[in-house]
Amino acid sequence: MGILIKNATIITGDQILENHSLLIENGIISKIADSIDASGVEEIDMNGDYVSPGFIDLQINGGAGAFFTKDLDADSLIKMGKVHMEYGTTSFLPTLISTSHDRIIKAIKAVKEVQGTHGILGMHLEGPYFNVKKKGAHFEKFIHSPEKSEIDSLIEEGQGALKLVTLAPEVVDLNLVRSLVDNGIKVSAGHSNASYAEAMAGFKAGISKVTHLFNAMSQFNSRNPGLVGAFFNSNAWGAVIVDGIHVDYAAVRVAYNLTKGRLFLVSDASFVKHPIKEFEFDGFKIHYEDGNYYTDEGNLAGASISLYEAFKNCVEKLNIPLIDAVKMASTYPAIYIGAENEIGYVKEGYKADLVLLDKALRIKSVIKDGEAID
């Protein structure tokens, strides 16, 4: 049975349509108009409330009790997908943090088992090709510069599933960066102490994004502009954690003003809904304190918010226009990952991945592939 959503304020990703209706058939948005007549369908009267494209999170480490780097199985990915979908995230990249090469390959195989279900778009590999000076919460014993054989293995095993790799451009042969990009794998700069020149060389080699802007990277300075300065002076995309802890809201506002149109949101969530008080495996140890996760050294270890909360913070804490906040939570990540012809917009012919919000931006319902999520 189809769904008719009527009397809605539709945030399409391009514009806001007042008093419009949309029809969902076979999991696809089949029609959008100011008025639609349809029989034999479920009707949802929005009474002027919002319909947004489903949120898209390109950096999720875990959710509920699952942590992908520890579990490395399809069940943990499904659990992560289900819990984040409750918060409006209808598509995501499960993210593997620095670990051994054997575990990286095992993770890719787990993703392939369930890719295309539960919102799983593919995998984000965050590390282990980092600058140890900017390791953050990552376990130092795994951090190293990659050999060509490692990158060749990632390309071969990750075909179709490995969508994004975060690395430090100053510790990786840029020919290896080009190899990843040439084989359809996006590369992002992060956990990097790159100079401005090193960062710009990385962008020239095909690095197209920075990972959790401002965090674990060389900062902007008048004499040493660093990775942050290079990002501001580039055409690269930026992903930022808007929880008020990882980045001050004022700094997010600066980035938004300087890079509007290429800045989007990630949660970098370690756990949501059921915070784990203490967590340890294979040398990686974090604890939950005052709403956030930290290592014993005091470094932030992922976030404890959902992308929905980051989206709300953009509107309520930063006064970013609603349409821009939706773009940052959905449209821009869809464009970046190359899925903008299927998701990231509310348009005819697109997947019916939607978040229904009231005027206070509280979630009323989440629809995935045309089905309401229980």
CATH code for the domain in which residue 352 is found: 2.30.40.10
Q: How many residues does the chain have?
A: 374
The verdict on 47 and 61 lying in the same domain is no
Question: CATH number for the domain including 116?
Answer: 3.20.20.140
The verdict on 125 and 47 lying in the same domain is no
The verdict on 255 and 363 lying in the same domain is no
For the chain, 374 residues long, the average pLDDT of each consecutive 10-residue run is: 95 97 98 94 97 98 89 95 96 96 98 98 98 90 97 98 98 98 98 98 98 97 97 98 94 97 93 67 69 70 84 98 98 98 98 98 98 89
Give phi and psi for 82, each to the nearest 5: -65, -45
The verdict on 164 and 227 lying in the same domain is yes
The verdict on 123 and 28 lying in the same domain is no
pLDDT of residue 137: 80
Half-sphere exposure at residue 368, Cβ-oriented, CA atoms within 13 angstroms: 20
Rg (CA), the chain: 20
pLDDT of residue 348: 98
How far apart are the C-alpha atoms of 188 and 2, rounded to whole Å? 40
Tell me the per-residue pLDDT of 13-23, one tens digit each, with 9 for 90 and over: 999 999 999 99
How far apart are the C-alpha atoms of 229 and 367, rounded to whole Å? 39
The verdict on 105 and 172 lying in the same domain is yes
How far apart are the C-alpha atoms of 75 and 209, rounded to whole Å? 30
Per the CB < 8 A criterion, the answer to whether 339 and 34 are in contact is no
How far apart are the C-alpha atoms of 249 and 256, rounded to whole Å? 10
Sequence-distant (≥ 6) Cβ neighbours of residue 238 within 8 angstroms: 209, 210, 213, 231, 255, 259, 262, 263, 264
The verdict on 29 and 61 lying in the same domain is no
Per the CB < 8 A criterion, the answer to whether 3 and 367 are in contact is yes
The verdict on 33 and 150 lying in the same domain is no
pLDDT of residue 300: 67
Give phi and psi for 25, each to the nearest 5: -135, 130
The total number of structural domains in the chain stands at 2
Instruction: Return the residue matching tokens 């956030």.
Output: 292
The verdict on 167 and 151 lying in the same domain is yes
Q: Residue 21 is inside which H or E element, if any?
A: strand 16-25
Instruction: Return the residue matching tokens 């430090």.
Output: 168
How far apart are the C-alpha atoms of 120 and 28, rounded to whole Å? 18
Q: Helix H segments across the chain?
A: 68-71, 74-85, 101-114, 148-157, 174-182, 196-205, 226-232, 249-259, 307-316, 322-326, 332-337
pLDDT of residue 291: 67
Three-state DSSP state, 355: strand
What residue type is 53 in one-letter code? P
The verdict on 24 and 91 lying in the same domain is no
How far apart are the C-alpha atoms of 183 and 160, rounded to whole Å? 10
Tell me the per-residue pLDDT of 107-123, one tens digit each, with 9 for 90 and over: 999 999 999 999 999 99
Per the CB < 8 A criterion, the answer to whether 329 and 264 are in contact is yes
Domain that holds residue 31: 3-52+344-372
pLDDT of residue 271: 67
Active-site positions read 268
Q: Give the pair of three-digit tokens for residue 310.
A: 């980051």
Q: If 0-12 CB within 10 Å is exposed, 13-18 middle and 19+ buried, where does residue 361 land?
A: middle
The verdict on 203 and 290 lying in the same domain is yes
Give phi and psi for 167, each to the nearest 5: -150, 170
Give phi and psi for 211, each to the nearest 5: -95, 135
The verdict on 324 and 294 lying in the same domain is yes
Q: Give the pair of three-digit tokens for residue 207.
A: 């690095």
Q: Give the pair of three-digit tokens for residue 253.
A: 């506002």
